[in-house]
Structure 1
Amino acid sequence: MAEKKTALWKRIVGYSLFSIFALVLMFFVTFPYTALKDRIRLEADNAGYFLRIGSMGPGLFAIRASDVNVSKKSDADPPPEALKIDSLSIGPSLFPPGLKVKANMFDGTVVARVSGFGSSRVQFDADGIDLARGNLKGFSGVDFAGTVDAHLDLTIPRTAAAPNAPAEPDLSQASGSITLTTSNLAINGGTANITIPQFGPEPTPVDLPKIVIGDMSGKVKIEKGATTIEEFKSKSSDLELNLSGTIKLAKKLDYCEPNLELRVKPDPEFQKRLGLLGSALSMIGSDPKDPTWRMGRVTGYLGRPQFR
């Protein structure tokens, strides 16, 4: 009798798993991919971007798009160059249960996961991102070099603004960690629109010289909305950088309040090559503890920071 009962249990589980597998498989096979592609293009257009998708179809329990090109909308002739993404997929994740987005780009991978019920857990992993790939230079105007690895793990509680209001993710109560490492990071030239406080509030087009940043390491701890930069530094033949301080998170990212201290130690010959940027750098006050360093503070809000 025990053997028959076990066999029946196995059959029930087997049929159930097969039914779920068939249902999920048919969903991805019969999904209206053309309609989805048109919708994504429309949303990108509304956001000010032109999007081209080479192909879209079913992946391994995911919706997969390949040969994705994103460019800024402009009336300029020729039009802006596109950022290239080899493939992009979106589908369910099992561990933990939630939604997973994966992009193969810049000779590396970017994976984002969102899960949770009472609280939202956001995980982001970027591995082996080569900034010289994917036409980032043509898209941004800046010729970057080096590789980047970044990891974020954030738990965001859901709170209600009023007794009868629906609970929404509250970034001001988030907890987690962020790590960032770069290898041989450099800027090999290009043009960037940079807001230089000493020259007014409007962005100024600046021709960038070669800037070697080197290997950078960063560690950030977040505890109930209080963000502490435990480490953020780099050192190269051109300059040394060190960032410390805190950020008070808010429900909206623009209203987060930074209280940061940025210290820069440029090589004298490198500062001469900077031109306009070198002039702006010389206006930053010296570090009272070590005059060979320049020190500035970033306060205000992330949406409207103040540098002094």
Structure 2
Amino acid sequence: MLLKNDSHPFVFILLGIPGLEEVQYWISIPFCCMYILAFFGNIIILLIIRSEKSLHQPMFLFLSMLAVTDLVLSSSTLPKMLGIFWFNLREIGFDACLTQMFIIHSFTAMESGYFLAMAFDRFVAIWNPLRHSAILSTKTVLIVGICVVLRGVVLFLPHPFIVKSLIFCQTNIIPHTYCEFMAVIKLTCGDSTMTKSYSLTVASLIGAFDLLWTITSYALILYTVLHLPTKQAGLKALSTCTSHILVILVFYTTATFTFVTHRFGHNIQPQIHISIANIYLLVPPMLNPVIYGMRTKKIRQRIVLVFYSFGD
């Protein structure tokens, strides 16, 4: 293994999905389809929100931020993954690996933060609709968006520097499709307890904080809906939340499953670990535009108009 400064490898070798080498080409087909849907779906969402002034509301502004996050998150891993599967391009530079690791962690934290912001937006819209625009003005939405970005960047910026300070004295082969934090840490020598503890603590605190307040927001929404004067008004209010609830369930289900299996599922086969990790980074970015596009009337109507105009 070539070393740089007697401690870091020049490059890492990504193996892809160990144990499934013979079928990786076929696995790449659904992965590629998911990436295409994620990429173009989120682009379409961004273009529609930007061009349609009636969508310049807090919920859709947060949705556009989520779309950008999904684009970056999926694009940071999928092109390299397909390069491994299709062209055997397994090498990734040491600094590129650390950059990819930082992007995955920080943008996942941003995605979680935007889900919380959208949950709070739905709560305000149902709890006090007359003051919704005053409480969540465009300026407030932008401040919240910037805070979510800063939180993800600041808390995970130490990650690559901490990893870079470690000594890599083992193989430079990573049995994974991307630079997953735990897979990289396993290649180091010496005590990496502090590094793993920092990563685990930050990820756990962000996830627990966002999930707790998201659940609280929906509990308050449910309480408010149950006290509305008519059942029809309650059902109408809840219908505005269904797409968001579906997206949150997909995100946190895959995130929790990935977290638990990587940290505690030592008896689970590596290919299952890696497959779940890939799904975690691909499925939410793919489903977010599909679910919001199908469940949000204004976006659905605009998409129909666009395809109708192409048909003419």
* TM-score between the two structures when normalised by the length of structure 1: 0.21
Higher relative contact order (CA 8 A, sep 6+): 2
In our comparison, the structure showing a higher alpha carbon Rg is 1
* TM-score between the two structures when normalised by the length of structure 2: 0.21
Larger strand fraction of residues: 1
